[in-house]
Structures are given as C-alpha cells and as structure tokens.
Amino acid sequence: MTESGVPALFGLPAVQVVAVALASLLCGFVGTFVVLRRLVALGGGIAHAAFGGIGIAVVVGFEPRFGAAAVAVGAAALLAGLPRERSDRQDALIGVLWAVGMALGMVLLAGAPAGDSDVEGYLFGDIATVDRADVVTLAALVAIVLVVHARFGRELVATAFDPEHARLQGLPVRGLTLLGLLLVALSLVALLEMVGVVLAIALLAIPPLVALRWLRGLPAVVAGAIVVAAAMSLAGLALGASAGWPAGPTIVLVGGAALVLSRLAPARATRAG
C-alpha cells in the first residue's frame, strides 16, 4: 500500500505500474514499427493533430480521448491514403496536421469551461490520473496489437523493410501501412493520459532506438524495447515522485538520457572481417 492506502507495486501505485507495463508492450511492438518504418515525425504529427480532437470533444461534450482517437485515426488514414506519386509531399502534410491540430486544440480549449480546459494536462499528461478505465483501454489495445502481429507480423515486417518488394510479392502494402498507422494512432492516444500529446511519440521512439544500439534481430529489438520502456518509465516515475517533478516529462528525460548513454557506450559487436 502507498501512504494514501492505494495498492502498491515497487513502492508506486499498482495501477500506475500496470499501466507502465502495458504501455511498455506498446512501445516494444508499435514503437519498433515506428522507428524502423521511419514514422517518428508522422507519429508526432498524428499526436499533435489529436490535440485538435480533444478540443472538439470538449466543446461538443464528448470524452476527450474519443475525440483524440477519432482525429488520430482520421489523420493516419489521410497519410496512409496519400497516392504513391504524392508521397514526397508527406512531410508537408505532417507539418500542417501538426500545427493545425495544436492551433485548433488551443483555440477550442481556451473557450471551454475551466474544469475541461486543462491544456497542460493534455499536452504533458499526468500519470497520477491514470485509473482502472485507462488500464482496461491499454490492455485492450495491447491485445489488439498482439493479435495483429500474430496474424500479420510477417507481412508488416516485409512492408516495413522494403515496401517496393512487398508490393512485388502481391502484399496489400497500402492496407498494411494503414493497419500499422492505425495501431500507431491508437497507441499514441492510449499514451496521452500518461505523457500527453507533446511527449507521447518520444515514449514510442526512444526504447527501440536504445535497443537497436545493442541488439540484433527483430524479436530481440522488440523485447529489448519493452524492457527499456519499462525501465525508463519506472525510473522516471520514481525520480519524479522523489524530486517533485511531473512524471511524464521526467520519464521522457530519463529516456533521453538512456539514449545518449547508449550512443556513448560501445555498440554491439559486428561480423569479423
């Protein structure tokens, strides 16, 4: 038990630890896809566009996460549906979605009732507010991610590695890309409660980047990213609690430090000769 009587694990509220564990699984599977497919900027664009969805939901009177999910899924579909010939314009579209989503959210939340306009909470998250419903949402999403990887893992890897060759093999590259982006969008929304719009993409990107420094082979990288995500999240939570710092930013700072350290340390051994 914590001092306030809440069930505890590792000295932290149990619901937070379970949320971290589930989020770490997302970071391992979805984050590795994001990094290998070079979708970090695109993920950032989706997350920031989702902020506009939060603003719309608050104004209309919906649960904010539903608004975020709707806009994130719409943005993912828009980016996945970009014609091949126009894919060189993707970075511009990402930038526009990023900025317009933020602007829309700020404008709409500025006019919302005081209780619904916690802009800082939406931007940077607050893991202290994570509750059982959030854990159930995370668990459901993790289950979906695992089922999708069990059924389409080989196809998703082929598409992430070499989309041109995947197309030659008759794979529905556009559909698989959309499937991957939908998982990215939903994962970002699920992480909003913990680390907010601004930091969510860092939670997906940092663990695989650290794992790729030392590990070879996709299964090892995914497993390593899960471990790194859990370690940086728990360390960030503990450090934030003891230093009085906000949890989300502290988690991301710990992850950033881990990434720097991984770059300074010797890389994995490579083939001789």
Q: How far apart are CA 254 and CA 256, in angstroms?
A: 5
Residue pair 186/40 in contact (Cβ under 8 Å)? The answer is no
Options 218, 231, 238, 253; binder of another protein; rule CB under 8 A: 218
> Is residue 38 involved in binding another protein (CB under 8 A)?
yes
Residues 174-213 that bind another protein (CB under 8 A): 212
Q: Is the Cβ of residue 3 or residue 164 nearer to another protein in the bound state?
A: 164
Q: Which of 46, 162, 25, 28 is nearest to 98 (CA)?
A: 46
Q: Which of 132, 131, 74, 61 is nearest to 101 (CA)?
A: 74
Q: Is the Cβ of residue 10 or residue 161 nearer to another protein in the bound state?
A: 161
Query: Which amino acid, residue 6?
Result: V
> Is residue 271 involved in binding another protein (CB under 8 A)?
yes
Least separation in angstroms between CB 269 and another protein: 10
> Is residue 47 involved in binding another protein (CB under 8 A)?
no
Options 63, 162, 256, 261; binder of another protein; rule CB under 8 A: 162
Burial class (CB in 10 A: 0-12, 13-18, 19+), 115: exposed
Options 140, 168, 260, 261; binder of another protein; rule CB under 8 A: 168
Q: How far apart are CA 256 and CA 120, in angstroms?
A: 21
Residue pair 158/171 in contact (Cβ under 8 Å)? The answer is yes
Beta-carbon contacts of residue 239 (< 8 Å; ≥ 6 apart) = 245, 250, 254
> Is residue 36 involved in binding another protein (CB under 8 A)?
yes
> Is residue 131 involved in binding another protein (CB under 8 A)?
no
Reading the block at residue 128, the tokens are 């202290």
Reading the block at residue 134, the tokens are 């959030």
Q: Is the Cβ of residue 35 or residue 230 nearer to another protein in the bound state?
A: 35
CA trace torsion 137, 142, 143, 149 (10° rounding) = 150
> Is residue 154 involved in binding another protein (CB under 8 A)?
yes
Residues 62-91 that bind another protein (CB under 8 A): 84-85
Taking CA atoms, 151 is separated from 11, 44, 146, 147, 155, in Å, by: 38, 27, 9, 6, 9
Q: Is the Cβ of residue 146 or residue 220 nearer to another protein in the bound state?
A: 220
Question: Given the rule CB under 8 A, which of 56-64, 68-76, 214-222, 227-235 is the region that contacts another protein?
Answer: 214-222
Least separation in angstroms between CB 186 and another protein: 24
Residue pair 241/251 in contact (Cβ under 8 Å)? The answer is no
Question: Given the rule CB under 8 A, which of 9-17, 134-142, 158-166, 183-191 is the region that contacts another protein?
Answer: 158-166
Least separation in angstroms between CB 161 and another protein: 5
Question: Given the rule CB under 8 A, which of 17-25, 65-73, 91-99, 161-169 is the region that contacts another protein?
Answer: 161-169
Q: Where does this chain bind another protein (CB under 8 A)? A: 36, 38, 84-85, 154-155, 157-158, 160-171, 212, 215-218, 220-221, 270-271
